[in-house]
Amino acid sequence: MSESKTLDISRRAFLSGAGAAAVGAATLVTPGVSQAATSDVPRWGMVMDLRRCIGCRACTVACKSENDVSLGRFRAVITEKTTGTFPNTKKTFLPLMCNHCEGNKKDGVPPCVKACPEYPGKRAKFTTPDGQKITYRTGATYKRPDGLILIDKEKCIGCGKCIDACPYGVRSFDPFVKAGGDPTKQAADKCDMCAHRVDNGLEPSCVNTCQGRARIFGDLNNPNSEISKLVKKHNLAQDANVLLPDKGTDPHVYYIDPDNLLHAIYTERKKKKLDHFVDQIT
């Protein structure tokens, strides 16, 4: 066996989100992708470039691995759909994950957070890159000031209300983690945008592994970030480029979709069902 060693991760490697290994040392280095250029609090988001998604599923498996996601459920999936009649047949790949919604215009609270009986809970402080502290309300499901919708499994009571409330059906019970608030139940789980990586200056695992560069992660509050430029260039901040705009959730996962595939192939989940959020190759 080789000696334990710490890899000499170059700054370039680090900036490209190369290593979860850097998590420990990350705070010592200038955070790369996650750095907000301004003193504003970042607003994390994702752009999915459907032109570039080749349906390879590296993201699905990277997510499983990064987050130890049990069998039978997913935090991120590719759905595929074949349409048309031979020989004019098409097949489309659509990556899905938590939309890290902003919530409706009125109160800015996404439906999952609203459904959580533990929200609003205690106040907590969020520290911006320049050291400002922002107060926000926690819950078992809550929105952090940087826009990430997170789950506190210690507080979760396993009631499943958030699972039902999410119109996208991205949430499920984690069979391996008990709800801290009611250990007779299992805690809710979903994509947290790899907050543990993001907080240490690394891209989410699915982004890191995407060979087509179909997933672009970054700070929407920073006009110079790649994601902001893409949102501007492709005019993504509109109904046509997000999922279920009529739900008023204000999703922060945007799709570059020149062929208008999104609304042709995405259907809303059936009530109480999660079977559309399973990654299967036919």
Partner 1 sequence: MGTNWKESAESAKFRSNIYGLLATVFRKEPSEALIKELRDPRLAGVFQDLGVDLGEVLKDIPEHEVVETLSIEFTRLFIGPKDHISAHESIFTQLDGGMSALWGTTTVAVKSFIETAGLDYKQEFTGIPDHISVELEFMHKLAQWEAEKWEQKESKSAEYCQSIQRMFLEQHLSCWLPRFCEEVMDKTSVPFYRNMAELTRNFMRFEQQSTAH
Partner 2 sequence: MKQFNRRDFVKLAAATGTVMVTGLSTSQNALAGDVRLQEGGRDFSPITKKERVAIPTTCWQCVTRDSMIGYVEDGRVVKLEGHPDSIRTLGKLCAKGQAGINHVYFPDRILYPMQRVGKRGEGKWKRISWDDALDLMASKMKPLLDNGTPELFMYQYGRHKGSQSSIMHDFMDAFGSQTIGTHTSVCEGPKWVGQESLWGGMYDNWDYDHTDFVVNFGSNQFETHTNHIPTSQRLIRAMVDRNVPLYTFDVRLSNTAAKSTEWVPINVGMDGLVMLSMVNVIMNEGLFRRDHLQYMRVSPDYHATDDEKIDAIKQHVAKFTPEFASEKSGVPADKIRMIARGYAKANAACLIGYRGTVMHYHGADQERAAMLLSAITNNLDRKGGRVMGVGASWKHPSSPKAKLQKGLDITNGFPGEAAFPTHQCSQQNLPMIKDGRNGRPQVYWSSCNNQAFINGNNNEAEAILADEKLIPFYVNTNIVYDESSQYADLILPDVTYLERWDYEDMVSPTGVGEYSIRQPLIKPLGEARDQGEVFYGLAQRLGIELAYKTKEEYVRKSCEMTPGVKEAGGFEYMKKHGVWHDKKAKPNYGFYEAKVDVSGDGVILDKKTGVYWDYKKAGVSKTEAESKGYLGVEGAKKAYVAQNINGTPRLAYPPNTSFTKSGLLDFYSDNFAAKGFPAFPTYTPIPEHQKMDKDDLHLTTYKVAVHTHSRTAHCKWLSEIKHDNPAWINSKTAAARGIKDGDSIKVKSDIGEITTTAHVTEGIIPGIIAISHHFGRKHSGIYGSGKKSPTTVTASSDPDAKNMWWDKHGTHPNSIIPNSSDPISGGQRWMDTVVKVSKA
Note the residues at the interface with partner 1 (CB under 8 A): 64, 68-71, 176-177
- Select from partner 1, partner 2, none the partner in contact with residue 18, using the beta carbon and a kind-dependent cut-off of 5 to 8 Å: partner 2
- The beta strand positions in the chain, using DSSP E, are 44-49, 77-85, 88-96, 123-127, 133-137, 141-143, 149-151, 172-179, 182-189, 215-219, 253-256
> Minimal distance in Å, beta carbon 240 to partner 2?
19
Q: How far is the CB of 205 from partner 1 (least distance, A)?
A: 15
Our CB check for partner 2 shows the closer of 80 and 250 to be 80
Closer CB to partner 1, 44 or 173, in the complex = 173
DSSP 118: T
The option from partner 1, partner 2, none interacting with 37 (CB < 5 to 8 A, set by class) reads none
Identify the burial level of 196 via C-beta atoms within 10 angstroms of its C-beta, where 0-12 means exposed, 13-18 middle and 19 or more buried.
Answer: middle
Task: Round to whole Å and give the CA distance between 275 and 269.
Answer: 8
Closer residue to partner 2 in complex, CB, 23/165: 23
Question: Distance (Å, rounded) from C-alpha 126 to C-alpha 144?
Answer: 8
Residue 177: name its binding partner from partner 2, partner 1, none (Cβ under 5 to 8 Å by kind): partner 1
Q: How far apart are the first and last CA of the chain?
A: 41
- What is the smallest separation between the CB atom of 28 and partner 1, expressed in angstroms? 26
Cβ–Cβ contacts within 10 Å for residue 45, how many?
A: 27
Residue 65 CB, nearest approach to partner 1 (Å): 9
Nearer CB in complex with partner 2: 87/131: 87
Kindly state the smallest distance separating residue 21's Cβ from partner 1, in Å.
Answer: 17
Q: Phi first, then psi: what are they for 70, rounded to 5°?
A: -65, 165
Residues that bind partner 2 (CB under 8 A): 1-2, 4-10, 12-13, 16, 18-24, 49, 51-52, 54-58, 60-62, 64-66, 70-72, 82, 84-87, 89-93, 175-176, 205, 208-213, 279-282
